[in-house]
Structure 1
Amino acid sequence: MAKKKKETAIGSGRKLIAQNKKARHDYEILDTYECGLVLTGTEVKSLRQGRASLVDGFGQLDGGEVWLHNVHIPEYAQGTWTNHAARRKRKLLLHRAEIDKLVGKVQESGLTLVPLALYFTNGKVKVELAVARGKREYDKRQTLREKQDTREAERAMSAARRRQRA
């Protein structure tokens, strides 16, 4: 029994650091990848404090490697002269086959790489990277309208169920 509890505790180790909620509003998500990050020690310490912002972040392919740009990880407060730059570009760790797929997809017109979430998994920092297509204004309005309609339908159905039980 004790062994099984330990395995489930290790397997469920996903601690969210930062999330890019605006990306799902501004982009149509086509595919997602879980990537590792090459970080310095002060960056990891700053992330353990839950401090990061993915708002302006984007991924870029350069020389057969994937890089993450404009992700803001603030300097570590107790850091010394070895502290990191807050918005430096960071290398993403992916398998070669995944990088080759990304190269093919990003070369299509209008597709970009957007970070959706930054989190710890079993002590390692991971980024959820999405291949996305930008939405136009009318697409955004339509998505909001559909979300509002489904919310209203759910409320009406739950109210009808409550009346039926009473």
Structure 2
Amino acid sequence: MKILANNKKVAHEYFILDTFECGIVLKGTEIKSIRQGRFSIKEAYVRVKDYELYITGMNITKYEYGNIFNHKEDRDKKLLMSKRDIIKLGQKVKLEGLTIVPTKVYLKEGLCKVEVALCKGKKLYDKRETQKSKDVEKRLRKINH
């Protein structure tokens, strides 16, 4: 498994409740750009529409050797997941006010996969509390070594 992108901001902005592995539907030039590492998931999010998952805001740069059949950079991409899991996620998003955010993009056995997380947003005081606990752990590690 080769990790191509890791969204570290998710752990700071959200409480991660659960993670899922999804496939992603890509065009030919999109996968070539992804393999070169020319994409971003920093502002991306996932939404449920008609019992299907779509990732919005994932920017894939145009493939430099592509021709007139090159892809659009900002199109919504469909994520592949079982329908039962999509329905469960959709209900949690609607009823509990949770968010679905991509956390990783990686290659697994030659296929591009996206790890998405079901998250609950942190308040400002939660972010401060998390930062305090990380600082305390860091100090303890320094003292012990």
TM-score by length of 1: 0.85
Number of residue-to-residue matches in the alignment = 145
| 1:41 paired residue number | 28
The amino acid of 2:65's aligned partner reads Q
**% identical equivalent positions:** 41
The amino acid of 1:90's aligned partner reads K
Distance 2:10 2:72 in 1: 24
**Rg larger in structure:** 1
1:76-115, aligned counterparts within 5 Å? 76-115=63-102
Where do 5+ consecutive residues of structure 1 fail to align? 1-13, 159-166
| 2:129 paired residue number | 142
Deviation at 1:156, TM superposition (A): 1.0
CA-based RMSD: 0.9
Distance 2:56 2:96 in 1: 20
| 2:8 paired residue number | 21
1:32 maps to 2:28: no
Deviation at 1:109, TM superposition (A): 3.4
Deviation at 1:106, TM superposition (A): 1.0
| 1:5 paired residue number | none
Structure of greater relative contact order (alpha carbons < 8 Å, 6+ residues apart): 2
Q: Name which of 106, 119, 122 aligns with 2:106.
A: 119
Distance 2:132 2:97 in 1: 24
Where do 5+ consecutive residues of structure 2 fail to align? none
Moved over 2 A (4+): none
1:64 maps to 2:48: no
SS at structure 2 position matched to 1:150: helix
The structure richer in strand per residue is: 2
Distance 2:103 2:140 in 1: 28
TM-score by length of 2: 0.96
SS at structure 1 position matched to 2:29: helix
| 2:61 paired residue number | 74
Q: Name which of 96, 117, 125 aligns with 1:130.
A: 117
Deviation at 1:110, TM superposition (A): 2.7
